[in-house]
Structure 1
Amino acid sequence: MKKILFGLVALVAAFTSCTEQEDIEIAYQTDMFITASHIFDSYTTVLGDEFEMKGTENGEWDLNLHAFIYDQDGILVKKVEEQYPSLESTMKVDMDLLPGKYSVVAIADFMGTFVGEDYKFWNISNETSLRDLKIVESSTICNSPFETLGIATREFEVGNRVENLSIDIKPVTGLLQTIIWDDDFSNRGTDGFSFYAPNIKDLTIFAQDLKQVVKFDGGTNPIYDYGEQASRYPIMTHSPKAQFERRGPTQSLGFRALLPQENRDFYWELNCVPGAGQGLFPDGEDWQMSNLTDNKLNIQSGKQYVMDLLLDATYLYVQDYDPNVDMFERLGNIQAFINKKTIKKQLEEKYDIYVGMSRGSIETYLDKESWYTTENTTSYFGDGLISFITVRYTDSSMEKSNRVMLTWAISTDAEFRAVTEVLSEMYTPWEKGSTEDVKQFINGETLEEATVGISWDFHNKCLYFDSIR
């Protein structure tokens, strides 16, 4: 009897042990569907086909989709990677996973061929651990929107029922549209090209300290760090000389995809044909570097930005992209900004303070010597947009000036308007003395407070500062 009871207990124990082991090994089928079909939806094209992966002059591109699934400890349990010829493709991930909590990192990037060169923009490494997972931008330059990087992360739990997951990857980068204008805006060029174009061999736009690395540090939220080329990050390279010689388009379009970062500014460097800098730039040097852009970008995921370089003005401007403003309207706005900025700099001298000064004091302030003198006037060569500065005195002793006249080297309506606008900000408009061709201002709040009257004569391109006391 004891033997029978012992046998039954052993049998029950064996059966229980087998069932518990079977429960632990049961895996629940969860299907995951991953797409990046909307990765460019928040962006706007310029020519209409820049986001087409095949069949255009923008290269031949393939979409890479990656799925890395991690357990609660951040250890990789499954990896699936596929390549597709179309954005409309969907990657199905079949997952036989034990019950528990997981996280997935889904990545979309592109690789392909452009102008005979092969490009792969992003390199994924250390995927076996979520803490070590890293995505690093390659050092190659290709001005294409297919540099865009998409990332989607999700935490999920496998339980006792089937649940399918759908992931639509969105861009983690922002898209910077770049346009270099080789156009002749000054009427000094040839065949529609800027007068600079034949003499500038190469020009490169750079950024400082751009972030180029995506990390996770164990969490599912991406963080961004600096890469090896952060200190001099090339945005776009261009040869105005080559473009001029082949009589190509006067506008060159490109794109760069940039990871999120605040307060990012840019600058350019150029190299002239040997010796050409002497006739093009004040210092006569063949190598030139610009100041940093006046405004800065706060780069955010999925946002679009635009950069315009006007070769004729050697000026670089960046801003948020407004799809409601076309490129030529934007160009006009930038030219107006440049005109105003240039003219404002010319008038920072505050020429009204010279009225009443002696010749010696004026020449000390101007740091110039007269090139022409009469009984009661002195004339000086100007700088920039001011061709000449002429000072008139009350008598031949030249101890007290009563007029300072600036002769301007400007020709466009936009420039005339810019002078008027800057004067309106610096001085008080005096409508009583203004006509269609002459705008009047005073250097005080009221006529009683003013000591100098300012007249801007459109017709003669002259700006007069006259004593009224």
Structure 2
Amino acid sequence: MKKILLGLLAIVVTLVSCTDHEEIEIAYQTNMSITASHLFDIYSTVVGDEFNMKGTNNGNWNINLHAFIYDNNGNLVKSVEEQYPSLTSTLNFNLDLLPGKYSVVAIAEFSGTLAGHNYKFWNISNTEKLNDLSIVESDTICNSPFETLGITSSEFEIGDRMENILIDIRPVTGLLQVIIWDDDFSGIGKDGFSIYAPDVENLTIYAPDLKQVVKFNGVNPTYDYGDQATRYPIQIHSPKSQFEKKGPKQSLGYRALLPQENRDFYWELQCVKGAGQKYFLNGKDWQMSDLTDNKLNIQPGKQYVMDLLLDGTFLYVQDYNPEVDMFERLQSIQGFINKKNIKKALDERYDKYVGMSKNTIETYLDQESWYTTETTTNYWGTGLISSITARFTDSTMTKANRIMLMWAISSQAELDVVTEVLSEMYTPWDEDSTENIKQFINSTTLEEVTVMISWDLHNGCLYFDAIN
């Protein structure tokens, strides 16, 4: 019996010894829930239903939720992906991971159909390692807010107790709202459409370059250029098609853009053959604009708005202000265009023509007089200036003592803008100004004045007169 007891004791000691030296790792249950239900909460709509995924003219969309879990060395240890028909859906799963430090990259992107075409905006690849993970924008153009890309990435730790981790994915793209105005703002169009609309076959808005790739530095997203780094189409439009089918005069679209500093834009248009001679000084059927005067600093979750006024062949971009509706914004842009065009006309500095000879003036104007009297010559103006008249001291026409500009404007707002621009260029001379005649001098002091500028708002005439 004693030998038996000693044998049992040896077995117990052996078992205890084995337990003391082996570490048994336990995976504590950790639940992760991922949602993108608030992806559009910070954005505003124009029509009201643009963010509805089903049941509207905006297409039929699904949201794709992805979760990639990486260990402390950046190796993929778990991935879960599901597609849902509703933005309010939640991706739930259990991690079943051992205690330790991990990283999660949660991604929300959309796929679906619009006007009979299938679209998927973002392609995820190289998921096996965090530093290789890549999200690349498709080169397909679809003007939809569902181009929005959401990413939330962070580090987390699994300990020795049960946990629930909730991730609410937010956008990393900024949302650009695009409105093309085919309206007749000049009063000389047809059927309410711009004078250009019947003859402009194609109108495309471009960005010189855009970032299209998401990479990761640790868990932090970084943004870079893709294969299509230049001449990136933002929206394609046909005013001619809209005019012919009597469609809407305003065309609304959206683009989701990755973060980027100082982003500007431009447009190109193609007229029907020969129409360019009617509309443009160079007579060409193909036209390209300058870059937008202002630039956007695109940031995650911010909203921007782009307006293209066909009647003014003018493109303007700015931060979106939900307190200002589209028609108030339009009025403000029209005011900006008026001032820009008026300033461009006055930048010629016609006060310098005072004292010049007829030949010198014609060299500057690059044209000959179309009508001449004994002491005056008349020239065609450009843009908002319909005609230019030079008056000389005598018939030799060697010294001009007056330059008169006749303006092709009529609204009080335009007339007031001329006053505003003159006030910025010259020194107001209030002593002799009246309600209808505003006067300025071409110097800051009266002693140095050589030209008096008189702006006749009633008749739309601007005079530059020599001071003897």
The bucket for the TM-score relative to the shorter chain is over 0.9
**Post-superposition offset of 1:33:** 0.9
Q: Name stretches of at least 5 consecutive residues in structure 2 with no aligned partner.
A: none
**Distance in 2 (alpha carbons) for counterparts of 1:21 and 1:188:** 90
* AA partner of residue 121 (structure 1): F
**Distance in 1 (alpha carbons) for counterparts of 2:456 and 2:223:** 55
The residue number in structure 2 matching 1:241 is 240
1:134 aligns with 2:150: no
The residue number in structure 2 matching 1:115 is 115
Show the 5 A alignment for 1:337-356.
Answer: 337-356=336-355
**Distance in 2 (alpha carbons) for counterparts of 1:462 and 1:449:** 25
How big is each residue's C-alpha offset from its partner over 1:57-102, in whole Å with a ceiling of 9 and x where there is no partner?
1111111111111111111111111111111111112111111111
The residue number in structure 2 matching 1:388 is 387
Show the 5 A alignment for 1:403-442.
Answer: 403-442=402-441
TM-aligned CA distance change 1:22 to 1:454, over 3 Å: same
How big is each residue's C-alpha offset from its partner over 1:361-404, in whole Å with a ceiling of 9 and x where there is no partner?
22222222111111101111111111111011111111221110
**Post-superposition offset of 1:17:** 3.7
Show the 5 A alignment for 1:57-456.
Answer: 57-217=57-217, 219-456=218-455
**Post-superposition offset of 1:360:** 2.1
**Distance in 1 (alpha carbons) for counterparts of 2:20 and 2:92:** 32
**Distance in 2 (alpha carbons) for counterparts of 1:346 and 1:16:** 96
**Distance in 1 (alpha carbons) for counterparts of 2:279 and 2:362:** 28
**Distance in 2 (alpha carbons) for counterparts of 1:420 and 1:138:** 50
Q: Secondary structure at the match of 1:131?
A: helix
**Distance in 1 (alpha carbons) for counterparts of 2:60 and 2:442:** 63
Q: Secondary structure at the match of 1:292?
A: coil
TM-aligned CA distance change 1:8 to 1:269, over 3 Å: farther
**Distance in 2 (alpha carbons) for counterparts of 1:272 and 1:136:** 34
**Post-superposition offset of 1:22:** 6.6
**Distance in 2 (alpha carbons) for counterparts of 1:294 and 1:78:** 48
**Distance in 1 (alpha carbons) for counterparts of 2:417 and 2:401:** 26
**Post-superposition offset of 1:459:** 2.3
**Post-superposition offset of 1:238:** 0.3
Q: Secondary structure at the match of 2:345?
A: helix
TM-aligned CA distance change 1:20 to 1:172, over 3 Å: farther
Q: Secondary structure at the match of 1:422?
A: helix
**Post-superposition offset of 1:463:** 0.7
**Post-superposition offset of 1:12:** 3.7
**Distance in 2 (alpha carbons) for counterparts of 1:8 and 1:454:** 117
How big is each residue's C-alpha offset from its partner over 1:389-429, in whole Å with a ceiling of 9 and x where there is no partner?
10111111112211100111122222212211110101111
Q: Secondary structure at the match of 1:444?
A: coil
TM-aligned CA distance change 1:394 to 1:23, over 3 Å: same
**Distance in 2 (alpha carbons) for counterparts of 1:292 and 1:15:** 79
**Distance in 1 (alpha carbons) for counterparts of 2:373 and 2:4:** 137
**Distance in 2 (alpha carbons) for counterparts of 1:20 and 1:29:** 25
**Distance in 2 (alpha carbons) for counterparts of 1:9 and 1:463:** 116
RMSD between aligned residues: 1.8
How big is each residue's C-alpha offset from its partner over 1:148-179, in whole Å with a ceiling of 9 and x where there is no partner?
00000121111110111111010000000000
How big is each residue's C-alpha offset from its partner over 1:119-162, in whole Å with a ceiling of 9 and x where there is no partner?
11111111111111111111111111111000001211111101
Q: Secondary structure at the match of 1:365?
A: helix
**Distance in 2 (alpha carbons) for counterparts of 1:20 and 1:126:** 40
* AA partner of residue 286 (structure 1): D
TM-aligned CA distance change 1:246 to 1:18, over 3 Å: farther
**Distance in 1 (alpha carbons) for counterparts of 2:263 and 2:315:** 14
* AA partner of residue 297 (structure 2): N
Q: With structure 1 as the length reference, what TM-score do the two structures score? A: 0.96
Structure 1 runs (4+) deviating above 3 angstroms are 1-22
**Post-superposition offset of 1:289:** 1.1
Which is further off, 442-451 or 65-74? Answer: 442-451
Which is further off, 174-183 or 53-62? Answer: 53-62
TM-aligned CA distance change 1:341 to 1:9, over 3 Å: farther
Q: With structure 2 as the length reference, what TM-score do the two structures score? A: 0.96
Q: Secondary structure at the match of 1:32?
A: strand
Which is further off, 398-407 or 9-18? Answer: 9-18
Q: Secondary structure at the match of 1:222?
A: strand
